[in-house]
Chain A
């Protein structure tokens, strides 16, 4: 048992250590300060800008920035969709895969474009190397870069700067942050034992009967893995994702994957501190999320460690719940990985989330509902600071002034955008399709588990789509050619798009509005937002506003399931 906790503790310490280093680096990149990669990358950037005729100095308004995101993403989506549909005619297709069904291709396109990587297919039997490497791999970088660009534009707006230029921010996110780390990271992963090859599946005779041969799928995995984690993408090369021994062979690769997926969202909070010149606030906000994160890990890990009471009563002793887990990771690393992947909206898994105990299921769902226990690439950080704005609005009146955040008054527009963004989009994208599916479970759902767990599966699927996470509770008949796949593919597209672009547009308009406000000078009558008191108030607002909305769902899902299990039914 101690070993498990030590693994978790060490990982947390490393996270604490890299946050300021990495966060500081991102801030330097976006403040236009000198970084060690400048000499190599400045000419590259210039080449990219001149080839794409982007004027790097041109500032964008919030709406222009949003339009740039929407149109560039649309163009990329069309390209990817065509690529997937035509993969039969394209090279690098050693296994000779044909075109997927149109709805699967559409869902895959939208899912990867929105940085979600929800997969209603098995990678190794659906998409060719060309589709995976060039098509999906391309989206790995651009969708993650889009998220970073949004976060940076948002931070700039909050601190009263012009928002910047989307194309420049996106390019720099890829060339300065994602690519360099991915190159180094994939080499480390290869060294640690992850395969990287363009050869087709390996055909070997089985051990039991040498006359029967089996083919073992392999491919260019290492470079795919690192950006999968770093960009909070999470779409696995193989169907079982990071539980596959080729994707995640050992404890070292597992550690690297956890660090890769959590490093961006944690560091972006610090980046805010540097750009806003208020590191104290950054650390307080970081601390608030960190405490919730650790609490979530503990609840999940304890649940897994104690195991299933029904199984324990048969065994006669308490054993960890290892069903759906890789023995090489055990309960501790599986729990840590699961809380991290749902918190950061990565969505990669090294154990089947469906098999977690109800306590874990509760936490994983809560992560998807809250969306800020680190949160998605860039957007999570922006949500976090939007929550600060909301908390300022709700409680700030109590100091007898119009609420202010960073010296800027929170007025009607800010309230419309923040409350819409934080409170309304998610319930609409999760509860509506969820309710429709559960109203017609046979016709639409194809749910493997009836009762409370089935409800959790359905809600999880939409929550994962709307939060742009991509992991699944599985057990849903959502892959072609089953009849319910069409409904799943199309209805999750609604959640994917709504959960991605509505908040992004709202965030950018919010940032634009904040940047244009005349700052009010700070006095003793101004509410300080960088205090322990205010940060605790924010935590309260997050829990009441973010979690209470979904309390009935949690009660009818994992909570009811947990009590059911305790009663021994």
Chain B
């Protein structure tokens, strides 16, 4: 999967997850359900969770009361019927403001629910066959399973909970969580292949599984809880913003509450309904109404990338990451080295050598072997014997060679330089000095040299090269511009590592790295105050994953790694870490942009309302927008205030467009759009609404 960093879409194309989980029926129901939820959220016990909107809700009740009796809080001079009409209109608009805000949250939650539902279907209670200590088997509900239980799962059955395979070999269909249709082989002992996930299906044979998660604690459960926003706790950033919004609301509450005596003193009394309107217009309803939707949508975006985050905090931390620690193999380079060049010795031509290499790799099914065949065929090499009469010699750790035994008992071998040297000597051949030159040259370039010989005749060196994934260099450049440093970790020697590092464009590399080095690097970076993100899959990655601020485990990885990480990538694509950084940043930018916009709006609302309601004080000249009347001005400001929430829902859910720019460029751009735009837009919008309003 390849996603252009500079152009993140809510649902990336070619995404298996998206293909699996956007049933149109679910989306149709989404809005109906969201509208229902919007009304359900009017329950004061729920509404109290959003301070800004709670105030609007209370204000709605107050204006409703003065609609019933305009003289409730003091005799009003104007015609009571006209008052009732105005107050009624204000009540309706305020009520809609609350509903719109609730709707925004409900839509965000609903999108998460839609994703969760398909997961939940796989999790529905299954019957598990529990292996009792005495060897008997008892039938239990999957929800009754506890950590440490053993269960037997036969062909065609769902695995009841997350666990480790202890006995048996079987293929498992994991498409329910990864979307990958090809079944995966699971067997005990090996790190990666032994962990199974609840809800996946055994499609061949039978497994005995040791349960490692209590019910409700498994991956799918966690994922459901998160995408639904059910167990959402506020992230540190959201908490800080909530405080700020509460302070602003408090300030304006004080301003409006103390305004009445001031206005009475200068003989320009204002009604309670107008004071409530002024309060609602001034408090930051836009960001207050969209704040939780932004957070939930951020989690959804991560889920759409097929990554499970265990907390919103982790997603936010992605935006703050200073250092990415990336494994070379599989992340920066394609997992395998590919043949790049044949360097012949002993007076052989390239063509001759290609023919021998082709013959020697005929039965080699490894990617390296296939790449040798490919290169040789490209050079026009052909085999001059019948394939069926030859036999392949498999690579073994002892011989460190593989090859082909030809029908006429000629042995072709390729493999590690030392092994080939030994083989040639044993067949009575000689080693020319050019051979050593060739392999040193390959080593210097960071490649892996393979020797090729036919019996005692040494043919040359195959240059196996690490291939950097296409497009990575550009993305590392973008990361650097955003202030994120990349460190490559590899088990290779320094020379090899530096060549790859340069080619991929990483900032730093650690060669000959052991798993312990990983955690040391993380600690070193963290001691400088940096936030570190890394990916890992093996059991020995677990401590480092736990230490990192953002640890992304591969779904193909071990249970231990997944437990230690705070995110799990279901596609097992380590490059996704870079996308996660972009998602985290986008989430923060969206929040900041809407906050700035919301606050900047206040200027226009002030200029719409204050001059018109205090027109009796002779400050009508300040009515720069030329609004028709106090009633029209208040209604226009409130209608703008209400409509801007649904108008910004798409922005809140999809996030602002993210560009990999430096901080200063981003600030400049966003201040222009959301700051200056936030000052100007409401002036225009309120004027237009004022003109359209059918009242004098």
Does chain A touch chain B in the assembled complex, meaning CB atoms less than 8 Å apart? yes
Report the minimal beta-carbon distance from B462 to chain A, rounded to whole angstroms. 42
Once bound together, how far apart are the Cα atoms of A424 and B255, in whole Å?
10
B254 within 8 A of A: yes
Once bound together, how far apart are the Cα atoms of A363 and B677, in whole Å?
28
Given contacts A398-B589, A526-B663, A563-B621, contact A438 B320 (CB under 8 A): no
B588 within 8 A of A: yes
Q: Which residues of B contact A436 (CB under 8 A)?
A: 261
Q: Which of A116-175 contact B (CB under 8 A)?
A: none
Q: Find out whether the CB atom of A564 lies under 8 angstroms from the CB atom of B251.
A: no
> Quick one: which of A393, A525, A526 has the most chain B CB within 10 A?
A525
Q: Which residues of B contact A537 (CB under 8 A)?
A: 667, 671, 675
Return the chain B residue nearest A414 by Cβ: B240
B322 within 8 A of A: yes
Return the chain A residue nearest B607 by Cβ: A551
Q: Which residues of B contact A527 (CB under 8 A)?
A: 663-664, 667
A397 within 8 A of B: yes
B600 within 8 A of A: yes
B476 within 8 A of A: no
Given contacts A527-B667, A544-B602, contact A394 B261 (CB under 8 A): no
Once bound together, how far apart are the Cα atoms of A534 and B585, in whole Å?
20
Q: Which residues of B contact A455 (CB under 8 A)?
A: 262, 265-266
Q: Find out whether the CB atom of B588 lies under 8 angstroms from the CB atom of A439.
A: no
> Quick one: which of A520, A524, A549, A569 has the most chain B CB within 10 A?
A524
Return the chain B residue nearest A433 by Cβ: B258
Q: Find out whether the CB atom of B250 lies under 8 angstroms from the CB atom of A424.
A: yes
Identify A556's interface contact among B481, B484, B592, B614, CB under 8 A.
B614
A402 within 8 A of B: yes
Q: Which of A423-452 contact B (CB under 8 A)?
A: 423-424, 427-428, 431-432, 434-436, 438-439, 441, 451-452
Once bound together, how far apart are the Cα atoms of A556 and B239, in whole Å?
36
A58 within 8 A of B: no
Report the minimal beta-carbon distance from A14 to chain B, rounded to whole angstroms. 35
Given contacts A393-B244, A525-B663, A563-B618, contact A432 B237 (CB under 8 A): no
Q: Mark B588-601, 1 if CB is under 8 A from A, else 0.
A: 11011101100110
Q: Which residues of A contact B263 (CB under 8 A)?
A: 556
Given contacts A395-B596, A411-B240, A548-B606, contact A533 B668 (CB under 8 A): yes
Q: Which residues of A contact B585 (CB under 8 A)?
A: 400-401
Return the chain A residue nearest B247 by Cβ: A419
Once bound together, how far apart are the Cα atoms of A553 and B248, in whole Å?
17
Once bound together, how far apart are the Cα atoms of A550 and B262, in whole Å?
12
Once bound together, how far apart are the Cα atoms of A560 and B589, in whole Å?
40
Q: Mark A53-95, 1 if CB is under 8 A from B, else 0.
A: 0000000000000000000000000000000000000000000
Once bound together, how far apart are the Cα atoms of A523 and B239, in whole Å?
25
B236 within 8 A of A: yes
Given contacts A524-B663, A528-B663, A555-B614, contact A441 B668 (CB under 8 A): no
Q: Find out whether the CB atom of B484 lies under 8 angstroms from the CB atom of A395.
A: no
Identify B671's interface contact among A395, A400, A451, CB under 8 A.
A395
Report the minimal beta-carbon distance from A309 to chain B, rounded to whole angstroms. 15
Q: Which residues of A contact B322 (CB under 8 A)?
A: 520-521, 523, 525
Q: Find out whether the CB atom of A528 lies under 8 angstroms from the CB atom of B664.
A: yes
Q: Find out whether the CB atom of B675 lies under 8 angstroms from the CB atom of A533.
A: no
Q: Which residues of A contact B319 (CB under 8 A)?
A: 400-402
Q: Find out whether the CB atom of B262 lies under 8 angstroms from the CB atom of A563.
A: no
Once bound together, how far apart are the Cα atoms of A455 and B263, in whole Å?
9
Identify B480's interface contact among A428, A524, A553, CB under 8 A.
A524
Q: Find out whether the CB atom of A524 lies under 8 angstroms from the CB atom of B261.
A: no
Q: Find out whether the CB atom of B617 lies under 8 angstroms from the CB atom of A555.
A: yes
Identify B481's interface contact among A416, A420, A524, A553, CB under 8 A.
A524
Report the minimal beta-carbon distance from A47 to chain B, rounded to whole angstroms. 43
Q: Mark A533-569, 1 if CB is under 8 A from B, else 0.
A: 1100100100011001111110110011001100101
Once bound together, how far apart are the Cα atoms of A423 and B249, in whole Å?
11
Given contacts A412-B236, A420-B247, A431-B255, contact A526 B483 (CB under 8 A): yes
Q: Mark A277-301, 1 if CB is under 8 A from B, else 0.
A: 0000000000000000000000000
B561 within 8 A of A: no
B610 within 8 A of A: yes
Q: Which residues of A contact B255 (CB under 8 A)?
A: 427, 431, 549-550, 552
Once bound together, how far apart are the Cα atoms of A552 and B671, in whole Å?
27
B666 within 8 A of A: yes
Report the minimal beta-carbon distance from A495 to chain B, rounded to whole angstroms. 13
Q: Mark A232-260, 1 if CB is under 8 A from B, else 0.
A: 00000000000000000000000000000
B243 within 8 A of A: yes
Once bound together, how far apart are the Cα atoms of A236 and B483, in whole Å?
56
Band of interface residues on A = 35 or more
Q: Which residues of B contact A523 (CB under 8 A)?
A: 322, 483-485
B264 within 8 A of A: yes
Given contacts A419-B243, A524-B662, A544-B602, contact A552 B622 (CB under 8 A): no
A531 within 8 A of B: yes
Once bound together, how far apart are the Cα atoms of A438 and B529, in whole Å?
53
Q: Which residues of B contact A410 (CB under 8 A)?
A: 240
Given contacts A415-B240, A520-B529, contact A398 B592 (CB under 8 A): yes
Identify A397's interface contact among B259, B481, B595, CB under 8 A.
B595
Report the minimal beta-carbon distance from B486 to chain A, rounded to whole angstroms. 12
Given contacts A398-B592, A438-B262, A441-B265, contact A524 B602 (CB under 8 A): no
Return the chain B residue nearest A426 by Cβ: B251
Q: Which residues of A contact B143 (CB under 8 A)?
A: none
B122 within 8 A of A: no
Report the minimal beta-carbon distance from B379 to chain A, rounded to whole angstroms. 46
Q: Which residues of B contact A549 (CB under 8 A)?
A: 251-252, 255
Q: Which residues of B contact A550 (CB under 8 A)?
A: 255
Report the minimal beta-carbon distance from B425 to chain A, rounded to whole angstroms. 55
Once bound together, how far apart are the Cα atoms of A459 and B529, in whole Å?
47
Report the minimal beta-carbon distance from B521 to chain A, rounded to whole angstroms. 15
A40 within 8 A of B: no
Q: Find out whether the CB atom of B675 lies under 8 angstroms from the CB atom of A400.
A: no
Q: Find out whether the CB atom of B247 lies under 8 angstroms from the CB atom of A435.
A: no
B542 within 8 A of A: no
Report the minimal beta-carbon distance from A442 to chain B, rounded to whole angstroms. 11
Once bound together, how far apart are the Cα atoms of A410 and B255, in whole Å?
27
Given contacts A407-B529, A551-B606, A555-B610, contact A435 B675 (CB under 8 A): no
B232 within 8 A of A: no
Q: Find out whether the CB atom of B266 lies under 8 angstroms from the CB atom of A533.
A: no
Q: Find out whether the CB atom of B251 lies under 8 angstroms from the CB atom of A560.
A: no
A195 within 8 A of B: no
Q: Which residues of B contact A519 (CB under 8 A)?
A: 529
Return the chain A residue nearest B586 by Cβ: A400
A265 within 8 A of B: no
Identify A434's interface contact among B262, B588, B599, CB under 8 A.
B262
A327 within 8 A of B: no
Q: Find out whether the CB atom of A552 lies under 8 angstroms from the CB atom of B529.
A: no
A518 within 8 A of B: yes
A2 within 8 A of B: no
B31 within 8 A of A: no
Once bound together, how far apart are the Cα atoms of A410 and B261, in whole Å?
38
Q: Which residues of A contact B254 (CB under 8 A)?
A: 424, 427-428, 431-432
Return the chain A residue nearest B253 by Cβ: A427
> Quick one: which of B591, B611, B666 has the most chain A CB within 10 A?
B666
Report the minimal beta-carbon distance from A557 to chain B, rounded to whole angstroms. 9
A399 within 8 A of B: yes
Identify B530's interface contact among A459, A520, A544, A553, CB under 8 A.
A520
A472 within 8 A of B: no
Task: Name 18 A/B residue pairs within 8 A (Cβ), A-sorted.
Answer: A397-B588, A402-B316, A419-B247, A419-B248, A427-B251, A427-B255, A431-B254, A434-B258, A438-B265, A439-B264, A454-B265, A520-B530, A523-B484, A524-B481, A525-B482, A533-B668, A544-B602, A549-B251
Closest 4 CB pairs of A and B: A525-B483, A397-B592, A523-B483, A400-B585
Q: A424-B251, A527-B663 are in contact. List 7 more A-B contacts (CB 8 A).
A: A398-B674, A415-B244, A424-B247, A424-B254, A520-B530, A525-B484, A552-B614
